[in-house]
Structure 1
C-alpha cells in the first residue's frame, strides 16, 4: 500500500548530502543544485534504509505525485527482491538454500543472480565466487583461524558445485553456503531502475551503499557527476569524478569497507582460490551496463589485481575501470572517463 506523503522520510539538502557521503562507499553525486528543466518539472529525493544500508533515489518528472508513486513502487520492488536474496532474512530463498543445501522452485530473482554470478566466475577464472561464505564466516567469527578449519572451509568453495535449474537449486557438497554481497545489491539497484523506467521516468538516480545507476540527465539538462571515494582519505589527493549524460552503472569494491586488521591487509574480499585477501589493490571502481555486473567485476578486480583485471576488462564491451593500489597508484582502462 502506498504510504501517505506525510509519512515519507524528508531530508534537507544538507542532511541528504551527509547521508550520501556516509552511504556512498563507492561514490557520491557531487553538486546537488537542482534546477528544474522548466516550471513544470519536479525533483523528488528519497532516502530509506534497506538491505542494511541507505537507499537513495532521485526522480525528475512533470508531476510531483507521480514521482512519489514511482519511488514507492520502486522501493516496494527492491524490498521484495531483498526478501528473496538476503542471507540474513529467515524464509528468504537464499537463507533456505544455505540452511538445507537445496531449494525447490526457486524464485526468478535468485536464479537470475546466480546465473550472472556463474558467468562472471567463469570469465574471471574463479576470482569471483559467491560460494565463499564458509571462509567469510570463519574470518568474521573473530576467533583464531586454525589450519584445519581454514582448509575445511576452503574445500567448500566452488561455484561449479552449485547446480541450478528452474525447478531446483542445490549444493553438490554438504556445508556449502552462498553470499550475494558482491552482486545482490547491484541486482536490486538494477531492478529499481527498471521499475522507474517502466513507469516512464528517464532522469533518475538510484544508489545503494555506493552501488548506483544514473539515467538521463540532472535537472537543468546537466550531466550527472559521480565522485569516486579515496580509499585512503588520510592521504588526500585530487578527487576523481565520472561525468555522464547517458545511462551508467557504477560500483566500487574496496579493502576499507570491512577489514579484519588495522593495516587492511586482511579484509572481507577473499580470493576464493586461496582463501586469503588479495594484496595489491585498495579499491576497484567499475562502470558497466548494469550495476550487478559492475559490482561483481569490481570484486573480481580486487582479487585479480591490476594486470589481469585490465586484460579482462579490455575484452568486455562498455566496461571500464579505475583501480587504485595500496600505494595509491592508479590504473585506468583506456575508456575510463574522469
Structure 2
C-alpha cells in the first residue's frame, strides 16, 4: 500500500545572495537572478539562474518541465502507468527505457558497493509498515512476524537486469526513491548545460551546481543545526528519517535497514557531496543506515565523496574520501 502522495521534507535549502525573481514575474533588468519553481518526483523543485537575460530563463521552463515529466513516466512510484509501477505490478518489464535501465543499474551498483546497505527492493518493508499503521487499532511498531514476512522479498541480488528486460524475484517490488530525485537532478542539470547554461543551481529534491554564480561566488547551502556549505560545483544530497515518518507518533520512518527490516537509528541527518546527484542521493540513503565504523570502513570505496552526519544527540561527524572538489569555504 502506498500513500496518495509523498511527504518528504528536505534538511538543506538554498540561500541566494540576491533576491530571485520568479520567471513568471514582471519585467526585469537586462540581466538578473531568476528562479524556476515546480515539482519533481513528488518534491518541491526549483532552479536558480545567476545573472542571465530574462528571456533565456523563461524560454527554458517548458523544456525543463517536459524533461521532468518524461523521467517521472519512467521512475515514479506515484504514477500508476510509469515503467517502474508496471514492473512492480507484473514482476517483469520487456524493453525498458534507457532511464529506468540506467537508474536501476546505478541502484544495483551502489547496493554492491555498500554491501547491501542500499537496497532498491526495500519497497516490501515500506508497504508492510504503511499497511500496519493504516489499521488504527495498531499501536507501536509492526511485530517481528510482519517484518520477517516482508524481508523475504528484500534482496537486491534477486533483480535481473537483462539486455532487453528486467525481472524481479518472487514477490519483489522496487523503489528508486533512494536515488530517483538525484537522477532527475542530474538529467535536468545536464540538459541545461547542453543548452549553454552554466551558472545555475538545480534543486529537484537534491542539489547540483553546474558552476558557481556568474561573479564566481559559490552557492550558499544552509543546513539545519550546522554551518552552511559553500557549493561551487557538484551535488549535495541529504537523507533524514524525520523527512517521512510513519505511525501517529512517528514510531518509524522511511529509511529502512534491509538487514533488520527496521528504521535506521544511527543518524538524524546524513549529507553527501559527490559530482553526481544520483550517487550522492544513493549514498546518503545507504550511509543513513551505517554506523560510524561502517562508514569508515566503506571510505576506500567512496572516492570523491564528502560526508557530514549529525547523530540523534546533535553531535557532528565528517568523513572525506579524496578531495572535496566543488566544496569551498
Normalised by the length of structure 2, the TM-score is 0.85
- The worse-fitting range, judged by mean Cα deviation, of 138-147 and 256-265 is 256-265
Q: Is the 8 A contact 2:16 2:219 kept in 1?
A: no
Q: What corresponds to 2:126 in structure 1?
A: 136
Q: Distance in 1 between matches of 2:262 and 2:189?
A: 35
Structure 2: any 5+ residue segments left out of the alignment?
Answer: 1-6, 21-28
Q: Pick the aligned partner of 2:180 from 160, 179, 184.
A: 184
Q: What corresponds to 2:160 in structure 1?
A: 163
Q: Is the 8 A contact 1:103 1:168 kept in 2?
A: yes
User: How far 1:24 moved relative to its partner?
Assistant: 6.5
Q: How does 1:1-338 map to 2 (within 5 A)?
A: 25-33=10-18, 41-60=31-50, 62-141=52-131, 142=133, 143=135, 144=138, 145-173=142-170, 175-209=171-205, 211-230=206-225, 239-245=226-232, 247-260=233-246, 266-334=252-320
Secondary structure in 1 matching 2:245: coil
User: How far 1:151 moved relative to its partner?
Assistant: 1.5
Secondary structure in 2 matching 1:303: coil
User: How far 1:61 moved relative to its partner?
Assistant: 5.8
Q: Is the 8 A contact 1:23 1:54 kept in 2?
A: no
Q: Is the 8 A contact 2:239 2:271 kept in 1?
A: yes
Q: Distance in 2 between matches of 1:227 and 1:56?
A: 15
- Alignment size in residue pairs: 304
Secondary structure in 1 matching 2:122: helix
Q: What corresponds to 2:4 in structure 1?
A: none
Q: Is the 8 A contact 1:61 1:201 kept in 2?
A: no
Secondary structure in 2 matching 1:130: coil
User: How far 1:107 moved relative to its partner?
Assistant: 0.6
Q: Distance in 2 between matches of 1:34 and 1:279?
A: 38
Q: What corresponds to 1:12 in structure 2?
A: none
Distance 1:206 1:283, change over 3 A: same
Q: How large is the RMSD of aligned CA atoms in angstroms? A: 2.3
- The worse-fitting range, judged by mean Cα deviation, of 127-136 and 302-311 is 302-311
User: How far 1:115 moved relative to its partner?
Assistant: 0.5
Secondary structure in 1 matching 2:173: coil
Secondary structure in 1 matching 2:33: strand
Secondary structure in 1 matching 2:178: coil
Q: Is the 8 A contact 1:23 1:53 kept in 2?
A: yes
Cα-to-partner distance string for 1:106-164 (whole Å, 9 max, x where unaligned): 01001001100111101111000010011111111214434433222100001111111
Q: Distance in 1 between matches of 2:302 and 2:96?
A: 30
Distance 1:40 1:318, change over 3 A: farther
Cα-to-partner distance string for 1:198-244 (whole Å, 9 max, x where unaligned): 100100111123x11112122433211111223xxxxxxxx321113
Structure 1: any 5+ residue segments left out of the alignment?
Answer: 1-21, 231-238
User: How far 1:321 moved relative to its partner?
Assistant: 0.5
